[in-house]
């Protein structure tokens, strides 16, 4: 009785298999980056809320000195700018995966993986998307722009006399907030 040792059959991947694996690895990395950016963007909201509360607490408890309110627009501008930039990159990743990467994969012979990317395109056509995007726009403006304007108005109302340097600071703060407001509206992605 002879025993025969069977050798596993080595199957060489075709160029299409290798290409598919590379593209799916790219997809996995992009989705990982997108998720990390979403988490970071959400944390910017929390940081802004904490910053607003801290500045307001300082301004209220500092024996009536409200000059600290003029710091708030700078902070909300910086955090809001980071949020807008991150949001644009999150959307860019989604667009790339849903359009470019998906289109390259579906051209591979026998590829059924295009079903994997359905979410990337279907989410844009979901019912109520426009309403949700408007709500997100309002929430973003309320988080990053409104507190700065409220701080400026609060400072002007509560100050007995506004010094020229304070007026210059108010002008710079207001300009930054208007710029941020424009950026937020431009990146809102409501029409898509």
Q: How far apart are CA 77 and CA 101, in angstroms?
A: 34
Confidence label for 7 from pLDDT (cuts 50, 70 and 90): low
The better pLDDT of the pair 101, 139 is held by 139
Please check the confidence at residue 9 and state whether its pLDDT lies above 80: no
DSSP code string of 92-126: HHHHIIIIIIHHHHHTSTT--GGGGGHHHHHGGG-
User: 113: which 2 tokens?
Assistant: 């993986």
Number of Cβ within 10 Å of residue 137's Cβ equals 16
Mean pLDDT (whole number) for 26-40 = 93
Instruction: Please give the pLDDT value at position 48.
Output: 96
Instruction: Please give the pLDDT value at position 113.
Output: 54
Instruction: Please give the pLDDT value at position 159.
Output: 85
Confidence label for 14 from pLDDT (cuts 50, 70 and 90): low
Instruction: Please give the pLDDT value at position 62.
Output: 66
Mean pLDDT (whole number) for 95-101 = 86
Query: Is the pTM higher than 0.85?
Result: no
Q: How far apart are CA 52 and CA 72, in angstroms?
A: 7
The better pLDDT of the pair 189, 13 is held by 189
Q: How far apart are CA 174 and CA 184, in angstroms?
A: 15
Chain segment 49-96, per-residue pLDDT in tens: 999 999 888 888 867 678 889 999 999 999 999 999 999 999 899 889
Instruction: Please give the pLDDT value at position 116.
Output: 64
Chain segment 135-192, per-residue pLDDT in tens: 999 999 999 999 999 999 999 998 888 899 999 999 999 999 999 999 999 998 776 5
């Amino acid at each position: 009785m002879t025993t025969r040792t069977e050798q596993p059959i080595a199957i060489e991947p075709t160029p299409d298999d290798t290409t598919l694996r590379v593209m799916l690895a790219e997809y996995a990395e992009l989705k990982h980056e997108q998720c990390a950016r979403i988490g970071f963007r959400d944390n910017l909201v929390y940081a802004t809320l904490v910053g607003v509360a801290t500045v307001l607490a300082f301004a209220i408890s500092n024996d009536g000195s409200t000059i600290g309110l003029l710091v708030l627009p700078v902070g909300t501008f910086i955090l809001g700018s980071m949020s807008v930039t991150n949001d644009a990159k999150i959307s860019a990743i989604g667009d790339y995966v849903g359009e470019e990467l998906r289109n390259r994969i579906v051209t591979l012979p026998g590829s059924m993986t295009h079903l994997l990317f359905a979410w990337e395109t279907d989410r844009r056509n979901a019912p109520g998307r426009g309403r949700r995007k408007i709500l997100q726009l309002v929430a973003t403006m309320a988080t990053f722009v409104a507190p700065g304007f409220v701080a400026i108005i609060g400072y002007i109302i509560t100050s007995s006399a506004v010094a020229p340097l304070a007026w210059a600071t108010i002008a710079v703060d207001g300009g930054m907030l208007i710029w941020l407001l424009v950026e937020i509206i431009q990146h809102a992605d409501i029409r898509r």
